[in-house]
Structure 1
Amino acid sequence: MADEALKRVRTHLKESLTETVIKQLLDDLKDEKVFGDEEVESILQENLQRADRARCMIDSVTKKGPTASCILIDKLQERDKNVYDKLELHKRQTQHTPDSRKPAVGPPPEDEPMNKVRKNTQKRVEEKVSSSSRHEIFSPSPRQHEKEEYTMSSEPRGVCVIISNEHFTNPRLNREGSRKDADALEDVFRFLGFKVEVHKDLTAQKMKELMREYSEQQHDGDCWVCCVLSHGNSEGVLGCDVNLCPTEDIFSPFNGKNCPSLLGKPKVFFIQACRGSKRQEKLVISDDAVTPDTEKESYSIPKDSDFLFARSTVYGYEAYQSPEEGSWFIQSLCRHLREGSEGGDDILTVLTRVNDEVSKKEGKVKDKKTRQLYDAKETPISSFTLRKKLIFRKP
């Protein structure tokens, strides 16, 4: 069956599929009615790493049954024949009926006696695993009394890197408001006790190299912050040479495996850039409401723990900035970071206030093609793998 074939090559597919092919396949699956718009957007927004997107896509398709899996395999043959041939998917498929190309809705039908055998076998395996791991799952955590807030006491607190791309090889793309944002970020993170390092007008390749260089350094501070100000699209941000630097090349150098000195420490990324050319729709609503450290223990955490990603806008949409005042997102962020540090607010509370403030902003922007004015609306978005409260406390 096609779903079984996908499961057998799941790991290899996760490692082999490129970001471009993943997005092509998601579009294909949406066109074939295997996925809806919300499912595709969820896969893209909730999985920041390429491998995680591939895994989520494959798992979601196999859960829909053999017919949906068959469609994915067919589309993979069209989009990346090298991977298709390398994994010998044409041999692994045991059933493929061209006339049955309708995505399954709900659980796949159990129309064969063999399915009952498989189900019983799977049940016995699950019962065995559940029985053998019951103590591990239900036993109280040895770390239940561990401090719930990240340490933020080193001097300096850590390094804050600001990449500000203001001047581009195509002068029409120059971002005059970027200097205003970079200055505001520099001021607030110096106020918060960070060592601030500003890099201006970097090419895409230089941005990648800079991230690798920082990841190879010894980080003795309690936190790492990176702010990127540039143009962008759904896949990443632009260097001043108008080439693309994928967001994965910005984030991944700092995971626990690639950057051991930041293992267990918060790694925070603020990105001011468009993520597409779509525009937010304007809707009207009524608003009804306005310790001491314990003894250290050894434990393991996933390599992608302790990240926070805050972006100026949701996937596929534009973000806005003014040459005179800077961007909506960064200016609001800096203001609420300063106020939040004085009030002892954690970063998620701060970002929620930023989301609320930016979402309520309104503006008029001239369309570059039609020269007509349109309503400008924007909502930032954040995702995180933080394990504790992160509070930027003023030294």
Structure 2
Amino acid sequence: MADKELRKVRGVFVEGVTKAVIQQLVDDLQGCEILNDGEVESVHEEYSTRADKARCLIDMVLKKGRVPSEKFIGLLKERDPNLYAKLDLDSKVPPKPIPVPIPGDRPPSPFLVSSTVDFKKEIMEKEAKSIYPPMEKAGRKRLALLINNIKFDRVDMLRSGAEIDGERMEALLKNLDYNVVHLKNKSAEDMDMAVKAFAQREEHLLSDSTFLVFMSHGKRDGIFGIHHEGKDKPDVFNIDNIYNHLNTKSCTGLRNKPKIILIQACRGDEEGSTWVCDNVHEEPEAMEDDNIREDHKEKDFISLLSCTPDTKSYRHVKEGTVFIQRLVEIFNTYACEDHIEELFRKVMNRFENFPKQMPSKDRATLTKHFYLFPGL
């Protein structure tokens, strides 16, 4: 993490930076909107000595987190190569991963590419009966649930680098117009309660879809909570509970709407049917005699797991999991034109030459194509 490494060399920076370089860095940071006018004035007006100005500047940047700290380090390298070399930040801050192009295709985009109005119109006309109908952006209330377990009771279970995964996924989901409920470091019981509460949110009635993302240690059929200490003291959230809380019977607000599940753990399954009423907006008692019908208990789901059963999922201690990195790249680049199953296929394709790990689709019960139409 750039902010953590920058904090370690704070004293050397304060001691070695010149007044001229401070001025240049302040101007640069103001130009790229990391510092506002008030903060710039604070550096220049509230502190008279060079050292105090330097402390003020670096502390402001550190408080803003990883991305501003990375920018600050890059600017320092340009403005004072000698001081930068003295800080030895090259050996402490890893370079950003270079996106690997898919053979014969476009390079991954670092940002989410928007769909065009013409593309959406064409799809709506050509595939009207075979796609899930999107709601208009002005009236919809999309929700997503993101649970990221990083710190556990057992110190050796720390998921270093997982903070980056959370940041990346939250940014992607927000760019796709989902309001994100982002939870961290939850027990199995807490996760179960969170999914159950999420399924009952009224906003789903005004939504056309949802995403649920779980990131933790896990096993074939469960996701570990933070109190997990092994077989003797398990803390496991059963993956089946996700589907039980969001299925046709339990979550009427998302009935017949795509429910996209992304999990860094493995699987379980269930099939069956339940009795439902056609109209989810009315009192069931008023509808049962005439309109009750049998419907699929589990429908309109699709899941992508980070690996196949019984295998490992790999994570870089500073850059996060390979799965989340590549998934975000694919969504950024292709969600503008591909439906969700094609996006998942492309994610899996990115692992063909990475034999340690292969993501796998599971419990795919989508009956139509689901397009995200980012930006629209």
Name the TM-score class by shorter chain: 0.5 to 0.7
Contact 1:215 1:254 (C-alpha < 8 Å) held by counterparts: yes
2:328 alignment counterpart: 334
Establish whether residue 391 from structure 1 lines up as the match of residue 371 from structure 2: yes
Runs of at least 5 residues in structure 1 that lack an aligned partner in the other structure: 1-144, 276-297, 363-376
Establish whether residue 348 from structure 1 lines up as the match of residue 317 from structure 2: no
Structure 1 residue 274, shift from structure 2 partner: 6.3
SS of 2:324's partner is helix
Structure 1 residue 316, shift from structure 2 partner: 1.2
Contact 1:184 1:334 (C-alpha < 8 Å) held by counterparts: yes
| TM-score, length of structure 2 as denominator length | 0.54
Q: 2: distance between equivalents of 1:251 and 1:159?
A: 17
Alpha-carbon displacement from aligned partner over 1:315-356 (angstroms, at most 9, x marks no partner): 1111111111111111111111121222x1011111111111
1:215 alignment counterpart: 199
Contact 1:154 1:222 (C-alpha < 8 Å) held by counterparts: no
Q: 1: distance between equivalents of 2:373 and 2:166?
A: 21
The 5-angstrom pairing of residues 367-378 of structure 1 reads: 377-378=356-357
Establish whether residue 249 from structure 1 lines up as the match of residue 241 from structure 2: yes
Counterpart AA for 1:333: L
**RMSD over equivalenced CA pairs, Å:** 1.9
Aligned counterpart for 1:149 among listed residues 119, 131, 139: 131
Q: 1: distance between equivalents of 2:128 and 2:249?
A: 24
Alpha-carbon displacement from aligned partner over 1:191-237 (angstroms, at most 9, x marks no partner): 11111120000011000111111112221211111000000011200
Structure 1 residue 300, shift from structure 2 partner: 6.3
Contact 1:167 1:175 (C-alpha < 8 Å) held by counterparts: yes
SS of 1:358's partner is coil
1:225 alignment counterpart: 211
Q: 2: distance between equivalents of 1:322 and 1:154?
A: 39
Q: 2: distance between equivalents of 1:386 and 1:197?
A: 24
2:352 alignment counterpart: 359
Counterpart AA for 1:251: Y
Contact 1:154 1:221 (C-alpha < 8 Å) held by counterparts: no
Q: 1: distance between equivalents of 2:197 and 2:366?
A: 24
Alpha-carbon displacement from aligned partner over 1:102-136 (angstroms, at most 9, x marks no partner): xxxxxxxxxxxxxxxxxxxxxxxxxxxxxxxxxxx
Q: 1:259 to 1:317 in 2, by over 3 A?
A: same
Runs of at least 5 residues in structure 2 that lack an aligned partner in the other structure: 1-126, 229-234, 268-290
Q: 1:349 to 1:160 in 2, by over 3 A?
A: same
Contact 2:264 2:306 (C-alpha < 8 Å) held by counterparts: yes
Counterpart AA for 2:133: T
Q: 1:301 to 1:147 in 2, by over 3 A?
A: farther
| TM-score, length of structure 1 as denominator length | 0.52
Establish whether residue 177 from structure 1 lines up as the match of residue 171 from structure 2: no
Q: 1: distance between equivalents of 2:359 and 2:255?
A: 27
1:368 alignment counterpart: none
Identity of aligned residues (%): 25
Q: 1:393 to 1:323 in 2, by over 3 A?
A: same
Aligned counterpart for 2:184 among listed residues 189, 200, 207: 200
Contact 2:220 2:265 (C-alpha < 8 Å) held by counterparts: no
User: How many pairs align?
Assistant: 214
